[in-house]
Amino acid sequence: MEAAIILVFVMGYLAITLEHSIKIDKLIPALVMMAICWALIALGIDGFTQWFDSGNHSLMENFGGLASEEKMHLMEETLLHHLGKTSEILVFLLGAMTIVEIIDYFDGFSTIKDFIKTKKKSKILWIFAILAFILSAIIDNLTATIVLISILQKIVKDRNVRIWYAGLIIIAANAGGAWSPIGDVTTTMLWIGKKVTTGHLIGYLLLPSFLCMAVPTFIASFLPAFKGDLEMEEVEEKKKSKFSGTMLYLGLGAIVFVPIFKVITHLPPYVGMMLSLGVVAIFAEIYSSSKFSMTEHGAEESDAHAMHSPVHYSLSKIELPSILFFLGILMAVAALESLGILFNFAGSLQDTMPMLGTELHQEGHTGVSDLVVLLLGVGSAIIDNVPLVAASLGMFHEPIDNELWHFIAYSAGTGGSMLIIGSAAGVVAMGMEKIDFFWYLKKIAWLALVGFLVGAVAFMFTRTWF
């Protein structure tokens, strides 16, 4: 039965990676894979001889000797445990995405567009790269990519130029998301899973992540695509809401408040995110009537907004397919973890892979090879970084803030930039600008690889400081 479950998992992943070829949205195989894996576990529960205790991060003793009813009860408890942990992440993402949509509802991101005054291509490249690096750390890399490409589409006429910018934005957004606990889904998973803390995460990864962004951007600034001046798209200026700047800073400040709330209360991050969403929503409701009385809109737009409050409208705009995709992926990985498959795989990896890198001063270093973590980064480009990090949570059992978790956060967060389907930022950019897979592979992938390796080397040197 284990072989059947692994086969279902592999076939589901193949369907996810071939999403654009088979024309089936990746959330569908993710959900089907999750349901079938757990169904097979339930049907074959009597035949399993081992079970992974997620609470103690170890295999249970004498699981094979339990009665059928006891095994089924344990499976139901484990399923509920994993659903709870997964829901923490999903509710957190729902809150963050809704806040960002509320900001956009008030044209808050147009404030960022106003900062761009130059027409020099290389300068605009650096502006967008740095914005992507900073914004992704605050509002997550997926959302930062959506925001910045939306701004690009408003000011850059030539699509052939835009896709070059989009490629570098993907690299910068993934690099920026790696050093922030709220910047990337995988980093959020490690943070919520109590594997990393905010202070150590920033300390370990800020410099490697910055180099991962800066080196490719520096190299790209000398490429022909970024030579000369940009032909700007002339856009008819409309009167902005007088609350656009206020909502931008309020929304971003509310998201940044979440880690502070966790430190103070020791409650899970989604609780702080719900508080932040509630505060932002209060101001959005108060400001909404004033916004539309102060600005001019067409009758159709005014009617559409009149039917919804800002919060309802924003909730209708969030990327729900991504939420369901993460549900399917995380729960499918939990199935493999529960059977002890990932635990055994981790042991075989550590036995077969050679030790690489500098000697580590930290006591209790587990001997997990640097090569294993680097391969995880490469794998995140080929498959998806979310399941790989979810797997690592079940594979490795180092204490909180062990350097291994920070290296995993870096590798999984930035390695996905090497292929356009390797990260959420890449997938959304691919959809918004219809970027060809092989164009990205030829033009951008090598830049992402250089940045990934430079940052990894920097991490190996700087980790001895902590």
Q: What is the pTM of this model?
A: 0.74
Longest C-alpha distance within the chain, in Å?
A: 74
Token pair for residue 225? 């695509």
State how far the Cα of 55 lies from the Cα of 449, in Å rounded to an integer: 37
Token pair for residue 204? 């370990």
Nearest 5°: the CA angle 181, 184, 190 is 55
Residue 252 lies in a domain: yes
Token pair for residue 352? 């077969």
The H-assigned helical ranges of 353-444 are 370-382, 385-395, 403-415, 424-433, 437-443
Nearest 5°: the CA angle 286, 292, 295 is 130
State how far the Cα of 47 lies from the Cα of 63, in Å rounded to an integer: 11
Task: Please give the tally of structural domains in the chain.
Answer: 1
Token pair for residue 401? 């803030």
Output DSSP code: residue 342: H
Residue 375 lies in a domain: no
- Tell me, rounded to whole angstroms, the distance of Cα 463 from its chain centroid: 23
How many other CB atoms sit within 10 Å of the CB of residue 232? 14
Q: Digits of tens for pLDDT over the chain (466 positions)? A: 888 999 998 898 888 777 777 888 878 998 999 999 999 999 988 888 888 777 666 677 778 778 888 888 888 988 998 899 889 888 988 888 888 889 888 888 777 777 777 778 899 999 999 999 998 998 778 878 888 887 887 778 788 889 999 999 999 999 999 999 888 888 888 888 888 988 899 999 999 999 999 999 999 999 998 888 877 655 455 566 778 889 988 988 898 888 788 879 988 889 999 999 999 999 999 888 765 544 444 444 444 454 568 888 888 888 788 788 888 888 988 888 888 876 676 556 556 655 443 333 343 444 456 888 888 888 778 766 776 787 777 677 788 888 889 999 999 889 989 988 778 788 778 777 878 778 898 999 999 999 999 999 999 888 777 6
How high is the pLDDT of residue 275? 96
Residue 4 lies in a domain: no
Residue range(s) defining the domain that contains residue 173: 89-316
Q: Regarding beta strands 58-59 and 52-53, do their DSSP bridges make them parallel or antiparallel, or are they unpaired?
A: antiparallel
Q: Which of 62, 5, 75, 56 is nearest to 33 (CA)?
A: 5
Q: Are 37 and 43 in contact (CB under 8 A)?
A: no
Residue 404 lies in a domain: no
How high is the pLDDT of residue 309? 82
Q: Which of 269, 273, 384, 393 is nearest to 325 (CA)?
A: 384
State how far the Cα of 455 lies from the Cα of 1, in Å rounded to an integer: 42
Residue 305 lies in a domain: yes
Residue 9 lies in a domain: no
The residues with which 232 forms a beta bridge, in sequence order, are: 156
Q: Are 136 and 183 in contact (CB under 8 A)?
A: yes
Residue 406 lies in a domain: no
Residue 152 lies in a domain: yes
